[in-house]
Structure 1
Amino acid sequence: MIETSSIPQKIKQLMIILIPILVTQLAMFSMNFFDTIMSGKYSPADLAGVAIGSSLWVPISTGLTGILLAVTPIVAQLIGAKEKRDVPSTVLQGGYAAIFLSILVFIIGALVIRPILNGMNLESDVREVAYAYLVAISIGILPLFIYTVFRSFIDALGMTRVTMVITLMSLPINVILNYLFIFGKWGFPELGGAGAGYATAITYWLIALIAFWVIHTKQPFNEYRIFKVIPLPDWSKLKELLTMGIPIGLSIFFEVSIFSAVTLLMSNYSTMVIAAHQAAINFASFLYMIPLSISMALTIVVGFETGAKRVKDAKVYSWIGVTFALLLALIYGALLLAFKSDVAFLYTDDLHVRELIGHFLLYAVFFQLSDAVQAPVQGALRGYKDVNITFVMALISYWVIGLPLGYVLANYTSWGPYGYWLGLTSGLTAGAITLSIRLIAIQRRSMKTARPVQ
């Protein structure tokens, strides 16, 4: 990354960092996207089972990988402050954290998955698909977490195109493996929805190994000699990582888990409603990759400028990102309204399920606008290393406002399952407002305390 002096230069640098991140996020999400679509083509029960399994897996995996994303702002600020010698230890301590978290998740999952599924009001075939999917995808926990650390280091250097290439290389393999394992082609076992879990787990191993090879052998990453000396776990470094990472992870967990909680609450409805809801959430989440990518790009550029004490530049980057995200949300929201029937056709051939998907997508348009504000604002705040208040705001917005309101609307009004989506929109809107206020406050404080660059 380089220092910029004008808004056009900032837009250009932001785009250079953002576009590869967006492609990477879309490709990473496409693994789950194709899991859902291809399972739906196998049967509605497999679509519903993968939906339930994903609802348990996604918030845990994204929340814990969110802890490891703290590597990005830490490394970005170190580079901005020209303290490159501390980068290798930060990355390796992130690796230790990844190993510990993966072991923890594997052990806890083995103990609680079956009781949780048994406690849900699910049809037996849906329950078995969900369990088999979770067992299969658990094989990929360790490489997913390790890859997150490697990717955070690569992205913090502004080399986001590298992770884009890695992910694009692996996506076709994931789709082919889905085809083989779900439908039992070319002599492979026919596993249905569970096959999607095995395909994704294998793909996680692939991208982790490729990222390791790139960091170890290719410039400019090998100049940092990340693996030259492998230190023992360093509590001071781990403490810095976890102090930042845990609030980031919890913020992400509270946002993602509210969608999963809604899916789990919908287990009281029919398999058709569960399948339609999950398909609509899946596509809405696909669109969410746009503001999420802008958020990740802002963490990098704001962290870089803050580390270099260029607080005015950090502020300008923040609002360029938010504005761009909001404009894009207006565009793809209009497109979603126009083509909701075509989107529903992607997920299933069942006419009733397609009709339900179309209804759910109408509500998705509204919370896309709130996502377009709150996600980039969170990314900017992470660049400032402001994470604790953000976590509290996320908790209140999603779980104190959004989910309870959705439950009331779904169970005590005529909105039915659509009431949950109105609650989601309310929670995301509250988050967008409160987080924006926090960002303005942080920017004002940083401007007052900034020292002139010598």
Structure 2
Amino acid sequence: MTTAVIDNSFFKEFKVLASLAWPLLIAQVTQTLMGVSDTIMAGRYNSVDMAAVAIGFGMSLPVLIFMQGITLGLSPIISRYDGAKNTADVANAVQQMLYISLGMSVFVLLLLLAIPGAVGAIDMTPELAQKTGDYLFYVLLSAPAFGIYQTLRNYCEGLSITVPTMMIMATGLLVNIPVNYIFINGLFGMPEMGGAGCGLATMLVFYTMALATFAYTFYATKLKKYKLYERFLPISKPDINYMLRLGLPIAFTLLFEVALFAVVAVMLAPLGALTVAAHQIALNVSSLIFMLPLSIGLALAIRIGFLIGEGRHNHTKKAYWAAMLLAVSMVVFTASTILLFNDQIASIYSGEKAVITAAASLLILAALFQFSDAIQVVSANALRGYKDTKAMLIISFISYWLVGFPVGVMLGLTDMLVPRMAAAGFWIGFITGLSVAAVLLFMRVKVIQKRIIDDSLVRT
């Protein structure tokens, strides 16, 4: 970053991004805390149910994250309309994305039929397989609500309206915890479901959040001018194709990263519930911390779209550097905290000494990979704001699956380079893959910034 970039407008961007990011942060943290609370509460019930939730969560997350990724293509479209003061096309964009989300939901519901076969293909005990399948069934049943919620959320966030969805998500977490407890332990006449109760609670919370977000977008005065529900527009194949061209690369990018963690959880299952539980604790903590740079990245995508809609293409560079500085500064603090208190953090999740010891060692690696993760997620979201998503997809595939995953397999499951490291070897693979992604995505952002600024100068 050159000194020319650091001026009053840079610090103004810093302030704008922070104001956009903090509600997104709370919303993302509370969404992640649902998974964290599921893991903690199932772990307090017993380690088998904790492992079932870990594996079931790992299997369902790629499906839900793919749906979320598609809808993330909506916010840069809406933010450009907002920057250009174009209210007429917003309703069509949102409704076309709703059609896409509901179509994906139908496919996910059909996956319910494949749960027994998918769970049965994993090498684990019958008890663990049954509990995993039950948890997975309820979570996948929430797909329609999840799709509607994510679409309407991106509609609001694309307009820089971030507080309402934050409040809805926070309320969802507050509901999730007591409902979890009721279904896990069988209170108030409910059957004692153990880890499967976490899945049922998640389903109920998603439907509640979808209904609440619909109510907000229907009644909010500031959204009336967009006439979202004034009439239902027909399905537009060109618009849907355009959104899919933008959203699919985002979805696959997220999927490549999330699926990497999910596959590792499955590959660790034969090593026993203790190994899976330790890995899940480290993954839960790192996922929670990841929400900090992710929220900044999401705010950056919105801000870049808005600035381009206004025609201020050159200013997007300052927004990018402000976001990068903010994200890396936060990671310095969070990584240091994990390194200092890894044992205490692990003990929050489990009372079993062996699990705490194993998880604490993985948390050290989880702290280290946050730096690369912050750089790559800010850069990836900058590309999303620029609507340059295909390169992001290619970079992610190469980094996660052609670099990170092979390194993890070699170190974790073989003696090819060093004695088998189990979960720790996979975490070193994560660090390697994310570091490669960080470098390549950063380089791509610089290329796109030059291209879009040069193009804007030509047009003027």
- Structure 1 residue 453: Cα displacement: 9.5
The one of 94, 97, 101 aligned to 2:97: 94
Amino acid corresponding to residue 197 of structure 1 in structure 2? G
The answer to whether the 8 A contact 1:35-1:196 is kept is: yes
Matched, 1:47 2:53: no
Aligned to 1:403: 405
Distance across 2 between alignment mates of 1:249 and 1:272: 32
Structure 1 residue 353: Cα displacement: 0.7
Is 1:149 the counterpart of 2:155? The answer is: no
- Determine helix, strand or coil for the equivalent of 2:384: helix
Query: Do the aligned partners of 1:136 and 1:201 also contact (CA within 8 Å) in 2?
Result: yes
Q: Which moved more, 1:126-135 or 1:74-83?
A: 74-83
CA distance, structure 2, for counterparts of residue 164 and residue 266 of structure 1: 34
Give the secondary-structure state (helix, strand or coil) at the position aligned to 1:451.
Answer: helix
1:311 match: secondary structure: coil
Question: Compared with structure 1, are the counterparts of its residues 294 and 15 closer, same or farther at alpha carbon in structure 2 (3 Å cutoff)?
Answer: same
The alpha carbon displacement at 1:99 in A equals 0.4
**How far did 1:254 drift?**
0.3
Amino acid at match of 1:352: A
Aligned position for 2:430: 424
TM-score under structure 2 normalisation? 0.96
Counterpart of 1:234, as a letter, is S
Q: Tell me the SS of whatever aligns to 2:142.
A: helix
Q: Secondary structure at the match of 1:312?
A: coil
Instruction: Give the residue type in structure 2 aligned to 1:221.
Output: L
**Pairs aligned (count):** 450
The runs of 4+ residues in structure 1 deviating greater than 6 Å are none
1:313-333 deviation per Cα after TM superposition (whole angstroms, max 9, x unaligned): 111101111121111111110
Aligned: 1:333 with 2:339: no
In structure 2, the residue matched to 1:15 is 18
Aligned residue number for residue 75 of structure 2: 72
Aligned to 2:219: 217
Contact 1:42 1:192 in 2 (8 A): yes
Measured in 1, the distance between the counterparts of 2:121 and 2:141 equals: 24
Moved more, 134-143 or 428-437: 134-143
Task: Please give the alpha-carbon distance, in whole angstroms, between the structure 1 residues aligned to 2:112 and 2:190.
Answer: 26
Distance 2:321 2:184 in 1: 44
Q: How does 1:123-162 map to 2 (within 5 A)?
A: 123-162=125-164
What amino acid is aligned across from residue 28 of structure 2 in structure 1? Q
CA contact (8 A) 1:251 1:390 kept: yes
| Contact 1:310 1:453 survives alignment (8 Å) | no
Q: Which residue matches 2:3? A: none
Q: Give 2:424's aligned amino acid.
A: Y
Q: Give secondary structure in 2 for the equivalent of 1:228.
A: coil
Match of 2:119 in 1: 117
Deviation at 1:452, TM superposition (A): 8.4
State the Cα distance separating 1:451 from its structure 2 match: 3.5
Deviation at 1:100, TM superposition (A): 0.2
Indicate the residue corresponding to 1:387 in structure 2: 389
Residue 264 (structure 1) aligned to one of 260, 263, 266: 266
- Give the superposition deviation at 1:237: 1.2
Structure 1 residue 131, shift from structure 2 partner: 0.2
AA aligned opposite 2:71:
L
TM superposition shift of 1:113: 2.1
- Identify the match of residue 247 of structure 2 among 228, 245, 248: 245
Deviation at 1:29, TM superposition (A): 1.1
User: Residues 87 and 225 of structure 2 are in contact (CA less than 8 Å); yes or no, is this contact kept in structure 1?
Assistant: no
- 1:100-133: per-residue Cα shift (whole Å, max 9, x none)? 00101111x2233221211111122111111000
**C-alpha deviation, 1:424, in angstroms:** 0.7
Structure 1 Cα separation of the partners of residues 22 and 74 of structure 2? 20
> Does the 8 A contact of 1:363 with 1:422 survive in 2?
yes
- 8 Å contact 1:309–1:451 — kept in the other structure? no
AA of the residue aligned to 1:372: A
The CA distance in 1 between the partners of 2:105 and 2:150, in whole Å, is 12
Partner-residue secondary structure (3-state), 2:89? helix
1-structure distance, mates of 2:121, 2:15: 52
Q: Counterpart of 1:365?
A: 367
Look up the equivalent residue of 1:347 and give its one-letter code: Y
- Asked if 2 retains the 8 angstrom alpha-carbon contact of 1:309 and 1:453, the reply is no
Aligned partner letter, 2:96: Q
SS of the residue 2:434 aligns to: helix
2: distance between equivalents of 1:57 and 1:219?
A: 36
Identity %: 31
CA distances 1:388-437 after superposition (whole Å, capped 9, x unpaired): 01100000000000001110111223223211110111000000000000
Between the aligned partners of 2:61 and 2:435, the Cα distance in structure 1 is 22
Which among 6, 9, 28 is matched to residue 6 of structure 1?
9
| Cα offset, 1:342, TM superposition | 1.1
Quote the offset at 1:341 in angstroms.
1.0
Structure 2 unpaired stretches of 5+: 1-6
Alpha-carbon deviation of 1:138?
2.0
Q: Which amino acid aligns with 2:441?
A: L
Give, in whole Å, the separation in 2 of the partners of 1:407 and 1:168: 37
Q: Is the 8 A contact 2:65 2:254 kept in 1?
A: yes
